[in-house]
Every structure is written in structure tokens, then in C-alpha cells.
Amino acid sequence: MIARALETEILRLHHTEHWPVGTIATQLRVHHSTVRRVLAQAGAPVAQPTPRPSIIEPYRAFIVETLGKYPTLRASRLYTMVRERGYPGAPDHFRAVVARLRPRPAAQAYLRLRTLAGEQAQVDWAHFGKLTVGRAVRPLMAFVMVLSYSRHMCLRFYLGAAMNYFIRGHVEAFASFNSVPRVLLYDNLKSAVLERSGDAIRFHPTLLELAAHYRFAPRPVAVARGNEKGRVERAIRFVREAFFAARTFRDLDDLNAQAAAWCEGACADRLCPQDRARTVRTVFAEEAPRLLALPENPFPTEERIEVSVGKSPYARFDLNDYTVPHTHVNRTLSVLATLDTVRILDGSAVLAIHRRTFDRGAQIEIKAHLEALVTHKRAARAHRAQDRLHHAAPSAKLLFLRAAERGAHLGVLTRGLLALLDTPRRECAGGGDRRHTGRRRRAPGRRASLHRPARPRPRPSPAHRGGTAQRPALARHQRAPAGVKRLRTADHGVYR
């Protein structure tokens, strides 16, 4: 209601001053519908706005016909088609027109499904954000299984939705129920359905092995019909609101412990949606005898993959490196992983057992593997040192082998080599080898003989001892043996 004085002013301005409705509304600060209502109650004729023809009118029939054939055609594609036919308007106005002209799908009626006790369970994944583990950021996924009759629930959280987590969720759910339903209903996720064409379905082979082990029947819902598994969809919403909201936890194990306690406590004590007079715990006690019994042994849930080990003794698995014995580098090994441990196998032989980490870029090492590699490298270096000594003085091979057997230090062996190199040439190995000394190989027929008699070395003259005179050319027997460096001193007979 507005004041009587305001109504009088509206009538005066309209009849006396002949103001239009819009001007009256603007000047009196009222809505234009209020002005029209006051004029209509007073019986005054109100001028109606003259409708202007829309620029889309010539194309309306084409739009209606196209949407009749393709009801879900996007407005952007339809706008391109109309522009090619001469439409000059903007896309925003065109989208509003298409929204009014698009045919609405007919309303569908849904039948409330009822299942027998122990007959069916529904399974699905739910995403609950991300969890930071060290330097890794992993998705936090919830595996939810709900019994369709009693609405009893199993909830487990994993750092991903891979196939091994999917199988492990089934095994843990069956263990929590202590029984198995006859039919499991899935969405068309890749962990369950690899390929589908109408009613022709190709299931994941690992899921079929699981179904054969526990004797249940996997059954996917129709494509784009999530309403057929509405019980698990409603359960996921209940988990978000009643369990996960504002919940704190230390790590994944703590979260799963809280989830298991909640499923057996507050979740089981809620009223059953199918029978509001009883709780879920009571209905589940009635359903439990009609479920299938568990097999003697649970289905194996270990993740098995093949990994290639390169030059370094590390096997990469799930963004981390795990050590292996150095004798198994440059091979393809098998990794069996659970949520707690990582086992590395060569065939059936277990090479290493590590604690699993969900970090990234970490090196999980066994100290014995690295110590064995260091010992092997030291032994290889000692062997190479003995080879160098043998090539430098083959006649002393037996001496150095005996010294090495007695555990002589490498420095002792080196000093022994230097002492040997101070001996005359007839006691040293003759003839250089390019593979070991870098000097040219002697021509055939010119090999040095170890039995050649030693020639006396002439002592240098006093003039030469000062180092100022030109050095005389050394005789052949005075030259340094192959691979031995001669010191630049006045005494040309000193070798090192």
C-alpha cells in the first residue's frame, strides 16, 4: 500500500501534466508497476508500449525446426548456423531466445526399487580432496559399499582409485560384513567395465577373478543412469555431511580407524530408511544369515608390477626408489606391494623387503645392500691395482701376489714397485706395449731380451753435473724402461 497523497499526485501528473508512466515512476521514486496499478484502479486508460519486431523473428522457424531434430544442440553451434544465414544479433541475446525455444524433456516417473535381504550391495568411489604426504600430493578417495536391504555401510579411504585399491576395498568390506552379498551393483567405471556396447559388457579380468573367488555376480547399471544405484549415492552424501565434515586426523591410518568406528557405531545406530521403526543395526542382524559365507582364504590384494633396474641398484615404484642387491642391476624384477610393505622379487626369490612410503622422490635403502656394493667396488679397485703392478714389472708378479695375500696395504705395494723400478733394465720387463704404456709397439725381431748382459753405465763428467752443458745422448741401455718416468737431474742413471 502507498499513501493516499502519493496516489493523488500520480493521478494529477498523469491527467493534468500528461506525464508518461516511466517519468512519473522516476520522479516520485516508485516502481512503474505501482504507477500502472494506481491508474488502473482509477479507471484511467494506460498507454501500452508498442511492441517492436525482433530481429530474430525471421529465423525463429529455423531455430524451432533445428531444435526439434537435435534437442541437445548447443546454442553456440546454432548461433554459428544462424549467423551464416544472415542473423546480425549478438550471441548473449540469442542464447536467451534459444533457452525459451528449446523443447523440455518429458518428465520421467521413477519406481522405488526394493531388494530382498542379502541379495544386493552397491559400490562406488567418492573424491574427498587431496592429502599431502611429504612432497607428494595424492587424491583422497573413499570406497563405499552399502547393503541395499539394511543400508549397513563399509567405508575405507585410499590414496587413489587404482585397481589394487578397488580390490582391497572389496576384501575389507566383505571382512567387515563377515559375509558376501549375491549381487554387486556398479557404475560403469573402468575398474569394473572395460568396454560396453549396449548389453554386451567386457568386465575387468581381475574383477572377474574376485567374483569367482567370493561367488558374487557383478552387475553394472545402465549408461548414464546413476539413479539405479541411488542407495550408495545417498550414502556418500551422508558420509560427507555426518562423518567427514570438520573432521581432523593425523594420517590415513587414523582416518580409516575413525571411519571403521563410525560405521560400527553412529552409522549403524541411525534409523533404517526403509523401516523407520528399526535401526540399521537391527535390520542388518536380520539380513546377515541370508548373506553368502566367506571363503577360507581372502583374495590376494597385493599390487604386482614389473620394473626395470638400471645401472644403479634401485627399483623405482610409485614415485620412489627402493634398493636391490648390486648383483641384480640391469634386470627386470617384480614388485609386490601392499599398503605397508614393498617386496622385490627375481622370479620366486625375494631380494628385498622394504617399508612402503607414499612420498615422492624418496630413496628407501637397506644398509646391507649399499655396504655390499662398497665392498665390491673396493675389491675391484684392488684387483686393478695388482694388474697395473703386473704390467709394470711382470717378473715381480709372484712377490706382489704373496704380499697381497698377506694383506699388504696399497701404499706398501706401490713403494715396492718404485723400488723395483730402480733396478737395472735387465731385471725389468722389456718391450713396451701400447695398451699399457702408451708407447709404440716394438717391431718384430727387435724385442728386448731379459738375458742380455748388463752394460756398465758411464759416469757423467763433472762438467755435465752442473746442468749447464748440453746433455749427451744416452745409450740404449741407459734409457728409461717402458712406462717409467726419468727424473731430470744431472745423474742420468736415476729412474723413478
Residue 176 — pLDDT band, cuts 50, 70, 90? very high
Contacts of 192 (CB under 8 A, 6+ apart): 166, 186, 203, 204, 207, 218, 220
Contact indicator for 324, 369 with CB cutoff of 8 Å: yes
pLDDT at 488 over 80: no
Q: What is the pLDDT of residue 45?
A: 72
Q: What is the pLDDT of residue 305?
A: 93
Task: List pLDDT tens digits, range 282-308.
Answer: 999 999 999 999 999 999 999 999 999
Q: What is the pLDDT of residue 257?
A: 96
pLDDT at 57 over 80: yes
Mean of the pLDDT values across residues 466-489?
51
pLDDT at 465 over 60: no
Q: What is the pLDDT of residue 309?
A: 95
Mean of the pLDDT values across residues 121-148?
95
pTM check: above 0.85 = no
147/287 Cα distance (integer angstroms): 9
pLDDT at 72 over 50: yes
Q: Characterize the bridge pairing of strands 120-133 and 183-186.
A: parallel
Contacts 24+ apart (CB under 8 A), 301-305: 301/164, 301/167, 301/168, 301/171, 301/338, 302/164, 302/336, 302/337, 302/338, 303/162, 303/164, 303/335, 303/336, 303/337, 303/338, 304/334, 304/335, 304/336, 304/337, 305/334, 305/335, 305/337
pLDDT at 487 over 50: no
Comparing 194 with 411, the larger pLDDT belongs to 194
Give me the phi and psi of 247, to 5 degrees please: -95, 140
Comparing 259 with 104, the larger pLDDT belongs to 259
Contact indicator for 122, 231 with CB cutoff of 8 Å: yes
Residue 378 — pLDDT band, cuts 50, 70, 90? confident
Contacts of 298 (CB under 8 A, 6+ apart): 171, 174, 175
pLDDT at 148 over 80: yes
Comparing 234 with 453, the larger pLDDT belongs to 234
287/264 Cα distance (integer angstroms): 16
List beta partners, residue 80.
Answer: none
List beta partners, residue 335.
Answer: 305, 344
Q: What is the pLDDT of residue 472?
A: 54
Per residue in 405-441, is it b (16+ CB within 10 Å) or e — as a string?
A: eeeeeeeebeebbeebbeeebeebbeebeeeebeeee
Give me the phi and psi of 267, to 5 degrees please: -65, -40
Per residue in 212-246, is it b (16+ CB within 10 Å) or e — as a string?
A: ebbebebebeeeeeeebbebbbebbebbeeebbee
Dihedral over alpha carbons 163, 167, 168, 170 (to 10 degrees): 140
Mean of the pLDDT values across residues 169-193?
94
446/436 Cα distance (integer angstroms): 19
Nearest by Cα to 220 from 240, 197, 237, 236: 197
Task: List pLDDT tens digits, range 8-45.
Answer: 999 899 888 888 888 999 999 999 899 989 988 888 77
C-alpha cell at 390: 703386473
Comparing 458 with 168, the larger pLDDT belongs to 168
Sheet of strand 153-158, all strands in order from the earlier edge strand to the far edge: 153-158, 136-147, 120-133, 183-186, 217-220
Mean of the pLDDT values across residues 347-360?
93
Please provide the average confidence, as pLDDT, over all residues in the chain.
Answer: 83
Residue 156 — pLDDT band, cuts 50, 70, 90? very high
Comparing 385 with 479, the larger pLDDT belongs to 385
Give me the phi and psi of 16, to 5 degrees please: -85, -50
Q: What is the pLDDT of residue 109?
A: 79
pLDDT at 461 over 60: no
| Vertex 461: Cα angle to 455 and 464 (nearest 5) | 115
pLDDT at 174 over 70: yes
Mean of the pLDDT values across residues 115-128?
94
Residue 470 — pLDDT band, cuts 50, 70, 90? low
Task: List pLDDT tens digits, range 217-247.
Answer: 999 998 877 778 889 999 999 999 999 999 9
Comparing 109 with 337, the larger pLDDT belongs to 337
- Taking phi over 0 as left and psi of -120 to 50 as alpha, with beta for the rest, 306 belongs to beta
Residue 440 — pLDDT band, cuts 50, 70, 90? low
12/15 Cα distance (integer angstroms): 5
Contacts of 246 (CB under 8 A, 6+ apart): none
DSSP annotation of 443? P
Contact indicator for 159, 139 with CB cutoff of 8 Å: yes
Residue 266 — pLDDT band, cuts 50, 70, 90? very high
Task: List pLDDT tens digits, range 379-435.
Answer: 877 766 666 655 655 555 555 556 665 655 555 555 665 555 555 444 444 444 444
